[in-house]
Amino acid sequence: RKEVEQDPGPFNVPEGATVAFNCTYSNSASQSFFWYRQDCRKEPKLLMSVYSSGNEDGRFTAQLNRASQYISLLIRDSKLSDSATYLCVVLSGGYQKVTFGIGTKLQVIP
């Protein structure tokens, strides 16, 4: 089993739709969780951190489920500009263990 697993997609959704991605992790001792966004042929950029209590930033909501060992990202009212690959990142053992998922590709269609 991979340490961090994501459905690579692509997820093709119409503008205005709500879409959700999950990311599962295998190390129950993992400490910190993040979602990054990566546009085609660009560097990843931090989208949001994922806290135990959940985290909301505008149309984006991130949640952590430690019992089932997954994090989720919900995007409401999808925009064309949301089209990108969303990377799940899990930190374990402090700075020594940074694991990226392969990313989930989202394509928002007009």
Partner 1 sequence: NAGVTQTPKFRVLKTGQSMTLLCAQDMNHEYMYWYRQDPGMGLRLIHYSVGEGTTAKGEVPDGYNVSRLKKQNFLLGLESAAPSQTSVYFCASSPNYEQYFGPGTRLTVT
Binding site for partner 1 (CB under 8 A): 4, 8, 32, 34, 42-46, 49, 87, 91, 95-96, 98, 100-103
Least distance between partner 1 and beta carbon 98 (Å): 6
Nearer to partner 1, 67 or 95 (CB): 95
For residue 110, the minimal CB distance to partner 1 (Å) is 27
DSSP string across 51-107? -TT-EEETTEEEEEETTTTEEEEEE-S--GGG-EEEEEEEEETGGGEEEE---EEEE
Can you read off the two tokens belonging to residue 81? 């500009």
Nearer Cβ to partner 1 (46/109): 46
Smallest gap from Cβ 18 to partner 1, in A, equals 26
Closest to partner 1 by CB, 62 vs 78, is: 62
Q: How many alpha carbons fall within 13 Å on the CB side of residue 22?
A: 7
* Rounded distance between C-alpha atoms, residue 104 and residue 49, angstroms: 17
CB of 109 to partner 1, least distance (A): 23
